[in-house]
Amino acid sequence: MTIVAAFLVHGHPLPYLQSETAAFKPLVNGYRAAAAALSVAKPDVVLAYSTQWIAVLDELWQTRPHSSGLHVDENWYEYGDLKFDITIDRDLAAACVEGSKEVGISAKAVDYDGFPIDSGSIVMTNSLDPEHRFQYVLASNNLYHDAATTEKLAAMAVRTASAQGKRIAVVGVGGLSGSIFRRRIDLREDRIASREDDEMNRSLLTVLETGDTKKVRQFAGEYAKSAKADMGMKHLSWVLGAMGDRYVGAKTLGYGPAYGTGQAIVEFRLQ
């Protein structure tokens, strides 16, 4: 059994940096539940895709064995800094670079000191794996890739991991509705920007729980447009492509706002 766990998680710095704020508690608790589930699953490696790691010319894969340091988010710097400590499965990541080319997608390895790890990947690794026990493969979000291409990349990564005999967890890192407050707010009063966004977010989470891949794909396309969803929900496409026919349902572990945007933690059920 190659895939032992799968999650859709947020990568927003605010709930992580301001975890004691009441509005963020459902997301904080959701991440704790996901971290516990990941710990029980005991994967050899976590295959993760973050909407915040932007690429343009090629699909980029992080291959530097170890990255650590202090990251200052470009938008939420006033709320604190993000420490990171990430270990990469270099063999699998390098194989994914070659595997991308074999499925017709131009790809390159990223391996240099001081590379700017994105906030989403940092929030995810720190929240899912606070003791930094797991190895990762980090894939970028190429702006020119559509949902189908993203699914194809994820499926390739799973096949590649399977060929290496590895147990994997799959994680898509990104948000839900994208409307943000354009004025300063008291974080204690944070909420989803509109009732319509809240309804659409909850509808998406309900559809995910059905385990009906066809229905999820159909609704996700409509949802992405109406809710201004984060990067068209390509992080969901990553998880769907990785799970394939193993996907049979989901459970929402946490749902809430981050400065008006919608965010969630979802654990998928696998057969």
Each residue of 120-174: pLDDT tens digit? 999 999 999 999 999 999 999 999 999 999 999 999 999 999 999 999 999 999 9
Residue with tokens 């994105």: 118
pLDDT tens by residue, 172-211? 999 999 999 999 999 999 999 999 999 999 999 999 999 9
pLDDT the model gives residue 1? 58
CATH number for 216: 3.40.830.10
Question: 28 and 128 in contact (C-beta within 8 Å)?
Answer: no
Three-class SS state of 186: coil
Q: How many domains does the chain have?
A: 1
Q: What is the pTM of this model?
A: 0.97
Three-class SS state of 215: helix
- Read off the pLDDT band of 103 (50, 70, 90): very high
Which domain covers residue 208, as residue numbers? 3-270
Residues 6 or more apart in contact with residue 207 via CB below 8 angstroms = 215, 216, 219, 220
pLDDT at 119 over 70: yes
pLDDT tens by residue, 32-44? 999 999 999 999 9
Phi, psi angles (nearest 5°) of residue 73: -65, 140
Q: What stretches of the chain adopt beta strand conformation (E)?
A: 3-9, 45-55, 59-62, 66-71, 82-88, 107-110, 135-142, 168-173, 247-258, 261-270
SS3 percent helix, strand, coil of the chain, rounded to 5, is: 45, 30, 30
- Count of C-beta atoms within a 10 Å radius of residue 179: 16
pLDDT the model gives residue 265? 98
Query: What is the chain's mean pLDDT, rounded?
Result: 97
